[in-house]
């Protein structure tokens, strides 16, 4: 749900190159720039239209919509469900609140906010509510509001063939969701009354649900975005990515 929360910094490795193999639409920044963090932030803002549609030549998928194959959902009261084939909309409205780049320490810290993310897809569920078995599948609609992601990418260098290569072995991310609304449709084989009661219960457990959803989203995004960052790093050496 905060699918863009890392993709901006994931492309930071490409933002500071002067080599011709780097696409011309990527604004560069020098590693000696005293205002490098501001430069990287400006570069990402400049890339907004391209991030929305994706960058095929770098194998970077679109951020809006973003597709997730599945997402584990702990919906409170012992109700476990799974969202599948999810399409996440709203990422194009991201705001970069802060970027801090430390090239010497190989760390890239960021804060990104998104006003609203709408997730549409399907769900599967196998649970019991008030002694009533609840098992089935159907359409899912999840609207998350006021999302803030704080994360950090950690870079690493390796010397090979007289060149310095660069990649990101790890990434951390913490996601905060202020509020949400969720609706599971076609519950109880379309029984409208039971479906409404169940959906009301799900939306009454918001603090617990948010705590369970956030880590699942963080994991899904890291598994999706970290490989993208490393693909970008393969296009040039460290000195090309971070010129003097």
CB neighbour list of residue 228: distance below 8 Å, 6 or more residues apart: 7, 10, 11, 58, 59, 60, 61
**80-96 confidence digits (pLDDT tens):** 788 899 998 998 898 98
Lowest mean pLDDT among 90-94, 130-134, 160-164, 231-235: 130-134
pLDDT at 214: 82
**174-209 confidence digits (pLDDT tens):** 999 998 888 888 876 666 776 777 777 777 778 877
Distance separating alpha carbons of residues 116 and 74, to the nearest angstrom? 21
Task: Decide if pLDDT at 97 tops 90.
Answer: yes
Q: Containing H/E element for 100?
A: strand 95-102
Q: Tell me which CATH homologous superfamily contains domain 7-241.
A: TULIP domain (3.15.10.30)
CB neighbour list of residue 34: distance below 8 Å, 6 or more residues apart: none
**12-34 confidence digits (pLDDT tens):** 544 444 444 666 776 777 788 88
pLDDT at 121: 94
Instruction: Judge whether 50 and 25 are in contact, CB under 8 Å.
Output: yes
Distance separating alpha carbons of residues 163 and 157, to the nearest angstrom? 10
pTM of the model: 0.77
CB neighbour list of residue 88: distance below 8 Å, 6 or more residues apart: 1, 3, 64, 65, 66, 67, 68, 117, 118, 119
pLDDT at 148: 93
**98-113 confidence digits (pLDDT tens):** 999 887 888 989 998 9
């Amino acid at each position: 749900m905060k699918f863009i929360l890392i993709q901006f910094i994931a492309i930071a490795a490409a933002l500071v190159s002067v080599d011709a193999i780097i696409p011309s639409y990527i604004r560069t920044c020098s590693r000696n720039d005293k205002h490098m963090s501001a430069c990287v932030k400006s570069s990402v803002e400049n890339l907004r239209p391209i991030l929305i549609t994706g960058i095929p030549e770098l194998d970077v998928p679109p951020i809006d919509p973003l597709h997730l194959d599945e997402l584990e959902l702990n919906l409170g009261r012992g109700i476990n469900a799974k969202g599948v084939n999810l399409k996440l909309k709203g990422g194009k409205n991201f705001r970069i609140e802060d970027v801090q780049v430390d090239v010497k320490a190989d760390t890239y810290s960021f804060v990104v906010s998104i006003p609203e993310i709408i997730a549409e897809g399907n769900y599967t569920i196998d649970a019991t509510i008030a002694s009533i078995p609840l098992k089935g599948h159907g359409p899912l609609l999840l609207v998350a509001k006021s999302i803030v992601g704080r994360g950090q990418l950690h870079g690493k260098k390796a010397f090979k063939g007289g060149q310095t290569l660069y990649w990101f072995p790890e990434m951390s991310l913490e996601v905060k969701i202020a509020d949400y609304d969720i609706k599971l449709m076609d519950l109880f084989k379309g029984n409208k009354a039971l479906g409404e009661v169940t959906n009301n219960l799900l939306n009454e457990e918001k603090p617990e649900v948010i705590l369970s959803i956030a880590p699942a989203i963080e994991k899904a995004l890291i598994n999706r975005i970290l490989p993208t960052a490393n693909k970008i790093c393969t296009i040039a050496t460290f000195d090309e990515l971070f010129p003097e």
